[in-house]
Structure 1
Amino acid sequence: MDNEQLKVSGGEAFLQVNYNDEFTMTQLIERLALRPEAASLSRVRVGPWEECYEKDSASTVEALCGHARSFPRLSSLYLGDIEAEQCEISWINQCDISPLLKAFPLLEVLEVRGGNGLRISQARHAKLKTLRFETGGLPGAVVQDVSRGEFPNLEHLEFWLGTSEYGGTVELDDLHPLLNGERFPKLRFLGLMNWELANSLPGALKGCRILGQLRTLDLSMGTMTDQGGEELLKVPQLQSLQVLNLDDNYLSEQMVERLRSTLGACVQPGKQDVADEYEYNGVKYSDVYCSVAE
């Protein structure tokens, strides 16, 4: 075991199990818990565990929770800080991460990468401010879990919704309780990102309650075309935002200008993609893709 597998510096630790390593993530966490720096750690990043493309994160979560007393100051946790070269995002197997919320009462930031098997069935935490789910396909049950949750101090909520080809099962009905509820009074940033159904989002935003409290709505990395842009023009409540992030979609220059003219300075188009257009048997097709899938 060398410094590449277990790095500790400046109040932060990073752990990873490389291919052909003869130890497990559980053993790495046990070793970290014994180090004198453990008591002062504020952030832990968990990289790939052994065979994360086949094995879920349950034993990793169990080990973190079992040694929670060794990390009394932990306020930020990233479960699945994994490069694509190590394991594609859609191959990462997760589990029900609820025990982490109970084990670390000072947690303010929880980030999770990978959606296979992911749940957060007991979604409650008094201090959590940031909750991020990075996936190529998010189970709809996760959105439902969070929407029923109790996070009185949550300020930043981010979903990478992904595509059905890689396990995404989120539907508009899953989002309605979140968009029209009052469970997160301090929420200022909402990310509904990287979705293959991005054109359907503007319809769900019309008249939704949550827009009145948001500063940033992030719809980036999706498949929104001018069809979705036309519907955004019909949501005047968007003008109250400080930032409407539309980066990395499929909006034309003309549509971007119309959005800016109608919705104002909040519109941040970033860089737009161009659809793949082709003809087959005399029929023209246009394909768009969310940015992060496999």
Structure 2
Amino acid sequence: MVRAIVEANWPELETLTLWFGSAKSGAEVDARELAPLFSGERFPKLKHLRLQACEFADEAVGLLLEAPLLSRLESVDLSYGLLGDAGADALLHAAPKLGQLRKLTLVETAVGATARELLRAVGPQVKVENSGYGPNDSVDHFVPSAAGDGFVHVLHVG
């Protein structure tokens, strides 16, 4: 299913939300499968990218930080996944590349307290919150929004 999404030709798409879920719930996705999405060629108007409940968030961040798509994005949301200190470190080292983002959201991730504080210091566009419960790998109960102009929400990718 990931291949069908990232290789789709949606020239008017502005917002893409992908909820991946966990391997325990059947999600079998590799970060490299997102390469066509990160190239930005098929999604020239994409401004808002949400890769949520993503077990491979550290790897995805590494690929996104080197991708052409990043320079066009206004917001990135990596909430409810397993973004950890390695991914946070990559984001911190790439802070100059994040300057154009209006919003970077990291809610309920595996990022440690020290890295969360360092990320918050990057700027007001960075939202980092943890309730102490950790990442949520039970995302199969979310109801997808209907596809509309410029918006696609996929319930579960795996």
TM-score relative to the length of structure 2: 0.78
Identity of aligned residues (%): 33
Secondary structure at the aligned position of 2:107 is classed as coil
- Amino acid aligned to 1:188: K
Of 242, 246, 255 in structure 1, the residue corresponding to residue 102 of structure 2 is 242
Contact 1:250–1:274 under 8 Å retained in 2: no
Contact 1:229–1:259 under 8 Å retained in 2: yes
**Counterpart position of 1:269:** 128
**2:104 counterpart of 1:257:** no
Contact 1:206–1:235 under 8 Å retained in 2: yes
**2:69 counterpart of 1:222:** no
**Counterpart position of 1:170:** 29
Contact 2:120–2:128 under 8 Å retained in 1: no
Secondary structure at the aligned position of 1:191 is classed as strand
Secondary structure at the aligned position of 1:233 is classed as helix
Of 27, 47, 50 in structure 2, the residue corresponding to residue 188 of structure 1 is 47
Alignment gaps of 5+ in structure 2: 142-158
**Counterpart position of 1:290:** 137
Runs (4+) of structure 1 exceeding 3 A deviation are: 272-275
Structure with bigger gyration radius: 1
Contact 1:163–1:290 under 8 Å retained in 2: yes
| 1:38-80 deviation digits (Å, cap 9, x = unpaired) | xxxxxxxxxxxxxxxxxxxxxxxxxxxxxxxxxxxxxxxxxxx
**Counterpart position of 1:84:** none
**Any residues of structure 2 matched to 1:1-294 within 5 Å, and which?**
142-236=1-95, 237-261=97-121, 263-273=122-132, 290-292=137-139
Alignment gaps of 5+ in structure 1: 1-141, 276-287
Alignment RMSD? 2.0
CA distance in 2, matches of 1:161, 1:292: 8
What's the CA shift for 1:293?
A: 5.2
Tell me the matched-pair count.
Answer: 140
What's the CA shift for 1:201?
A: 2.2
Contact 2:74–2:103 under 8 Å retained in 1: yes
- Amino acid aligned to 2:54: W
